[in-house]
């Protein structure tokens, strides 16, 4: 049990903090072991896991394919962050920050690495000219995209960590981040009371970014009983928006890719072809 009267020392030193990810967390960057990443046959190589940030990338790629962009075909390789796969030399070559998702675009003469989920969405939207307007509404869409990128740490590393993953429950951090998470839901709810989607009338990268974080709260499938704890039922407009997006075929597929938990018929552990969804479960053995 941590000391509730803790006083920070003059100089911080790393100690074992406990919690779900204590075995992999360190205050240093860089590769911890040598291992090349696998490479498939498609133009895009995605290295990821079906966390909210990872799902952003797979939904985007599946939406591009659904829209007829065959050149957006991709291989999705599983990166098990609980086992530290993100610290391999191959992965850190693509993302020095050791976070999923990471994307390698091999469609041109020179491979292009793209890391950070928001950068991946923006890169793909601009490359294919989809899900990002070029008219006066572009600024609105980008504003909501970056609103989500800035919000995620408060929801995940803040509320999610202290409510579900921390080794002890403390009132102050849980209250602090619960308040911020509810405020963010209220921001979205008020926006969605006046517009069909976050950016306006059209479905865009702003929705693709926000959906994987907000929908699981509505559905009650993230951070234990967070749906009840945060009274998520209060946000009717968010629920309407989440249900509409969840029904999209590309979104259904995108949520399955690199998924390693839940029902087997909801998992496509690795995705290398459209036919992988017909088999539902694709193991990486």
Average confidence (pLDDT) over 87-101? 98
Q: How confident is the model at residue 280 (pLDDT cuts 50, 70, 90)?
A: low
The tens digit of pLDDT for each residue in 98-117 reads 999 999 999 999 999 999 99
Q: How far is CA 133 from CA 48, 146, 194, 201, 280, in A?
A: 27, 15, 19, 11, 34
Strands of the sheet containing 44-48, edge to edge, are: 74-78, 44-48, 102-105, 112-115
Q: Name, in order, each residue with C-beta under 8 angstroms of 84's C-beta and a sequence gap of 6 or more.
A: 23, 24, 32
Whether 283 has a pLDDT exceeding 60, the answer reads: no
Q: Residue 1: pLDDT above 70?
A: no
Mean pLDDT value of segment 264-278: 95
E strands, 57-135, in order? 74-78, 102-105, 112-115
Statement: residue 140 has pLDDT above 60: yes
pLDDT digits (tens, 9 = 90+) for 159-201: 999 999 999 999 999 999 999 999 999 999 999 999 999 999 9
Percentage above 70 pLDDT, the chain: 96
pLDDT given for residue 238 in this prediction: 98
- Tens digit of each residue's pLDDT (9 = 90 or more) over 227-263: 999 999 999 999 999 999 999 999 999 999 999 999 9
Q: Mean pLDDT over residues 60-83, rounded? A: 98
Whether residue 2 is predicted with pLDDT greater than 60 in this model: the reply is no
With a cut of 60, say whether residue 131 has pLDDT above it.
yes
Give me the mean pLDDT over the 112-129 stretch.
98
Domains in the chain: ranges and CATH: 44-131+260-279 (3.40.30.10), 138-247 (1.20.1050.10)
């Amino acid at each position: 049990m941590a000391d509730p009267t803790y006083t920070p020392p003059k100089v911080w030193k790393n100690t074992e903090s406990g919690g779900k990810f204590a075995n992999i967390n360190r205050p240093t960057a860089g590769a911890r072991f040598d291992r090349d990443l696998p490479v498939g046959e498609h133009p895009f190589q995605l290295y990821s896991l079906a966390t909210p940030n990872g799902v952003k990338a797979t939904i985007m790629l599946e939406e591009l394919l659904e829209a007829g962009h065959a050149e957006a075909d991709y291989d999705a390789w599983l990166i098990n962050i609980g086992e530290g796969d993100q610290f391999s030399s191959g992965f850190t070559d693509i993302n020095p920050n050791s976070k999923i998702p990471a994307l390698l675009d091999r469609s041109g003469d020179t491979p292009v690495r793209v890391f950070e989920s928001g950068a991946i969405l923006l890169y793909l939207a601009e490359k294919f000219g989809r899900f990002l307007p070029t008219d006066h509404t572009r600024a609105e869409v980008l504003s909501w995209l970056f609103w989500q990128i800035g919000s995620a740490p408060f929801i995940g590393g803040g509320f999610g960590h202290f409510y579900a993953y921390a080794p002890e429950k403390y009132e102050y951090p849980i209250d602090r981040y619960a308040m911020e998470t509810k405020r963010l839901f209220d921001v979205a709810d008020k926006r969605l009371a006046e517009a069909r989607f976050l950016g306006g009338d059209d479905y865009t990268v702003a929705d693709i970014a926000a959906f994987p974080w907000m929908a699981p709260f509505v559905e009650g499938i993230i951070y234990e009983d967070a749906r009840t704890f945060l009274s998520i039922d209060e946000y009717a407009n968010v629920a309407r928006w989440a249900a509409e997006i969840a029904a999209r075929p590309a979104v259904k597929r995108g949520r399955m890719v690199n998924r390693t938990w839940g029902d087997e018929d909801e998992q496509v552990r690795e995705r290398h072809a459209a036919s992988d969804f017909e088999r539902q479960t694709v193991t990486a053995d």
